[in-house]
C-alpha cells in the first residue's frame, strides 16, 4: 500500500484573527487553552495554543476570513462539562444532531472573528 508522503499526524492548524487581544481572551479565558511560545523570528502578529499534540496558530490579519462551514474540531472527554463552562462564560453554541456520527455527540461555536469550532465527545445518554 502506498503511504504517499508519509503523513503521521496534523502538527498544527492556522486560522485568521483580526484582533489578537480579543482572540487571546476567547481562546485563553473562554476555551481555557494554554498559550505556548512562538519562534522569535516570526515578525508578524500571532499567537499559538497547544491542544494535545497539535498546535493552533492564530495569524493576525487586518481582514477576517469568510464565514463558512470550514472548521476545526476539539475533542473533549466530557461534553456536559464543556457545555456548562460555555454557559458560565455566556458564550453561544449550538448542538448538532442533523448529521449524527455514531458514538459521538457535538456542538459548534464561533470565535469573535466567526471562525467555526466543533466540540465533540463521547455520545451522551439519551
Q: CB neighbours of 11 closer than 8 A, spacing ≥ 6? A: 54, 55
Boundaries of every domain in the chain: 12-122
Mean pLDDT of the region 115-121: 96
**Residues 61-117 pLDDT 10s:** 999 988 889 999 999 999 999 999 999 999 999 998 888 899 999 999 999 999 999
Tell me the residue length of the chain. 126
Mind listing the pLDDT tens digit for each residue in 5-51? 878 889 999 999 999 999 999 999 999 999 999 999 999 999 999 99
Neighbouring C-beta atoms of residue 22, cutoff 10 Å: 13
Measured distance between the N- and C-terminal CA atoms of the chain, rounded to whole angstroms: 41
Confidence of residue 1 (pLDDT cuts 50, 70, 90): low
Predicted local confidence at residue 99, as pLDDT: 87
**Under CATH, what is the fold of the domain 12-122?**
2,3-Dihydroxybiphenyl 1,2-Dioxygenase; domain 1 (3.10.180)
Amino acid at each position: 500500500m502506498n503511504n504517499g508522503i508519509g503523513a503521521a499526524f496534523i502538527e498544527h492548524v492556522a486560522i485568521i484573527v483580526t484582533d489578537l487581544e480579543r482572540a487571546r481572551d476567547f481562546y485563553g479565558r473562554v476555551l481555557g487553552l494554554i498559550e505556548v511560545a512562538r519562534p522569535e523570528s516570526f515578525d508578524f502578529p500571532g499567537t499559538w495554543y497547544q491542544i494535545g499534540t497539535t498546535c493552533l496558530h492564530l495569524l493576525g490579519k487586518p481582514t477576517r476570513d469568510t464565514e463558512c462551514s470550514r472548521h476545526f474540531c476539539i475533542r473533549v472527554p466530557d461534553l456536559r462539562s464543556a457545555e456548562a463552562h460555555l454557559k458560565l462564560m455566556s458564550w453561544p453554541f449550538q448542538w448538532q444532531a442533523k448529521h449524527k456520527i455514531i458514538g459521538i455527540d457535538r456542538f459548534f461555536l464561533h470565535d469573535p472573528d466567526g471562525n467555526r469550532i466543533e466540540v465533540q465527545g463521547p455520545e451522551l445518554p439519551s
